[in-house]
Amino acid sequence: MKNFILASSNAHKAEEFKVLFKGVLSVEPAPQSLDVDESGSTFTENAYLKAKAYFDKFAVPALADDSGLVVEALPELLGVQSARFAPELSSYVDKCQKLIELLKSKENRSAYFVCILCFYLSPEEVYFFEGRVQGKIGNELKGDHGFGYDPIFIPDRKEQDGKSLAELPDWKNEFSHRARASQSALQFFKDSVDKPLKKS
């Protein structure tokens, strides 16, 4: 089993990854949280910056993720800035309401969540995996199970019932952007057990 520290001291997130990686990869929270300057212009760059910082500090393989919401009609507002959108608002409930307001005059409500995972084993061995979930921004907040922008994000599903991610905890566990990126990583590391890893 390959062992990684998570580029975060968040024990809950580390536990989530442990479940997703099903005993193939071990993920532990970092002993301490580092203040990493996420100055990248893409999710990939920011995931790399975080993973490298934790590898350099603790000298063990590190896993970092960077994710966010991309809204097609407002491409400059969220994306890598998703967590910093509307900094004057302290709660995601208010941020969600603001986003709904900004989209009132827009016909295109298409959006997607994206997650990039960066596995930093050494300076010569770095792997990236991407997961996305397509959908649209709803007109109201719905559901109590999600966080962030989940209550206003309606994922594309065969059941066209208009439910938000915050109403679909079981579906999210299997099909979210983080789950899909993790599934790709899991398959890659499973396949590499009996053969040398090659640069992806």
Read off the pLDDT of each residue in 101-123 and give the average, rounded to a whole number.
96
The pLDDT value recorded for residue 199 is: 47
The whole-chain average pLDDT of the chain stands at 91
The pLDDT value recorded for residue 6 is: 94
The pLDDT value recorded for residue 195 is: 58
Q: Does residue 200 register a pLDDT over 50?
A: no
Report yes or no: 99 and 105 within 8 Å, Cβ to Cβ: no
Read off the pLDDT of each residue in 26-37 and give the average, rounded to a whole number.
91
- Bridge partners, residue 163, by sequence: none
Nearest residue to 77 (alpha-carbon basis) of 53, 110, 102: 102
Q: Does residue 15 register a pLDDT over 90?
A: no
The pLDDT value recorded for residue 160 is: 85
Q: Examine the residue annotation and report whether 66 is marked as an active-site residue of this protein.
A: yes
Read off the pLDDT of each residue in 25-39 and give the average, rounded to a whole number.
90
- Bridge partners, residue 122, by sequence: 125
Q: What is the pLDDT of residues 73-110, one digit of tens each?
A: 998 899 998 988 999 998 999 999 999 999 999 999 99
Distance CA 64, CA 55 (A): 10
Q: How many CA atoms lie within 13 A of 87 on its CB side?
A: 2
Q: How many CA atoms lie within 13 A of 196 on its CB side?
A: 3
Distance CA 5, CA 64 (A): 9
Catalytic residue among 35, 66, 144, 191: 66
The pLDDT value recorded for residue 131 is: 97
Q: Does residue 138 register a pLDDT over 70?
A: yes
Q: Which domains does the chain have, with CATH numbers?
A: 2-191 (3.90.950.10)
Q: What is the pLDDT of residues 149-182, one digit of tens each?
A: 999 999 999 998 999 999 999 999 899 999 999 9
